[in-house]
Amino acid sequence: MVAFAFAFLAPVLYSLYLSLFRNQLMGGNQFVGLANYSAAFTDPKFWDGTGRVLLFLVVQVPIMLAVALAAALVIDSGRLFGKRFTRIALFVPYAVPGVVAVLMWGFLYGDRIGLVGWINEAAGSQVLTPFSREWMLVAIGNIVTWEFVGYNMLILYSALRTVPGELYEAAAIDGAGQWRVIRAVKLPALRGALVIATIFSIIGSFQLFNEPNILKVLAPTLISSSYTPNMYAYNLSFLGQQVNYAATVAIIMGVLTAAIAYVVQLRGTRRDS
């Protein structure tokens, strides 16, 4: 319990404490009450980044979970040749260190020496432009999906493995086909796992940092220093030396994330009972 308090609560409490102060290059440290919070609530950069991760959340998470669900069902159906290989192949991207994965995709996206450049040349026009205002966020979504489909597939697949065999037998006796089995047996069994995967993904979206932060090196004008709230907090803290304001941003994001995750969990479990 003491260890828990130290490792988990102390940083949060200290961040709260920090967020009540302002430390200036000239003038030093002073107590400012909730001034940092009122500043954050009217800070267009903060809301711009928050809006971006929300958009990312409502588009990328459903796509990723749908793909993961489909993959889990296909592998579980037993009709797939090379089921083990597929399972591992889907999971491998998750094992690639995030930084390496993003660098790799960054090179693939390259218009001059990358795969995209090669495709464009073959097509004779600019068919793919991941490094553009329109497509940058989609390109990031693609990387994140690639990284985490396998992970989510595994959560769902292991939930499917816990379905007792008798249920399938009973369904077969009732004359249910594959689709019917999926709808009546497998999907209800997956609900809990889906809620968990969704909550993880929501938190992950709000925490979006690695992918845009690394791609910023390749496309500095496309990805601003406040592209996501996490990047904003990082840059405020390490380049702007505004640790107090960064702590404020971190706490607001933490509360926001927790609230949304809680709502999802409530909805998910209510239907359960």
Partner 1 sequence: MSITRNGRIAAGAMAAVLAGSLAACSGGGGGGGEPDEGATAEEIEAALEEGGIIDYWTWTPQAEKQIEAFEKAYPNMTVNLTDTQGAEEHNTGLQNAIAADKGIPDVAQLEYQSVPQFQLPGQLTDVTGYGLGELEDLYTPSTWGSVALGDGLWGLPQDSGPMALFYNAEVFEENDLVVPKTWDEYVEQARKLKKSDPDKVLFNDDGNGPGTVTSMIWQAGGKPFQVEGDTVTIDLADEGTTRWAETYQQLIDEELMSDITGWSDEWYQALGDGTIASMVVGAWMPGIFEDGVPDGDGAWRIAPMPTYDGTPVNAENGGSADVIPAGADDKVLAAGFLKWLNSDPESIRVFMETGGFPATVAELGSEEFLGYESEYFGGQKINEVLAAGADDVVEGWSYLPWQSYANSIFSDTVGQAYLDRTSLLDGLSEWQAENVRYGEEQGFTVDG
Residues forming contacts to partner 1 in the complex (CB under 8 A) are 7-8, 10-12, 14-15, 18, 22-29, 98, 110, 112-113, 133, 144, 147-148, 151, 200-201, 203-205, 207-208, 217-218, 220-222, 224-226, 230, 233, 235, 237-244, 246-247, 250, 254, 257
Calculate the CA 7 to chain-centre distance: 24
Q: How far is the CB of 220 from partner 1 (least distance, A)?
A: 4
Strand-pairing partners, residue 181, are none
Angle between helices 243-272 and 10-18 (to 10 degrees): 130
Closer of 8 and 85 to partner 1 (Cβ): 8
Closer of 185 and 261 to partner 1 (Cβ): 261
Backbone region of residue 47 per phi and psi (left: phi > 0; alpha: psi in -120 to 50; beta: other values) = alpha
Cα–Cα distance for residue pair 35/248, rounded to 1 Å: 10
Which tokens is 26 given?
């000239």
Q: How far is the CB of 268 from partner 1 (least distance, A)?
A: 17
CB neighbourhood size of 54 (10 A)? 15
b/e code 168-207 from CB counts within 10 Å (16+ = b): eeebeeeebeeeebbeebbeebbeebbbbbbbbbbebbbe
Closer of 105 and 148 to partner 1 (Cβ): 148
Closer of 80 and 103 to partner 1 (Cβ): 103
Which tokens is 58 given?
């409502």
Q: How far is the CB of 152 from partner 1 (least distance, A)?
A: 10
DSSP state, 29? Answer: E
Closer of 45 and 83 to partner 1 (Cβ): 45
Q: How far is the CB of 110 from partner 1 (least distance, A)?
A: 7
φ/ψ of residue 31, rounded to 5: -75, 130
Closer of 30 and 162 to partner 1 (Cβ): 30
Q: How far is the CB of 95 from partner 1 (least distance, A)?
A: 11
Q: How far is the CB of 270 from partner 1 (least distance, A)?
A: 23
Q: Which amino acid is residue 174, in one-letter code?
A: D
φ/ψ of residue 22, rounded to 5: -140, 125
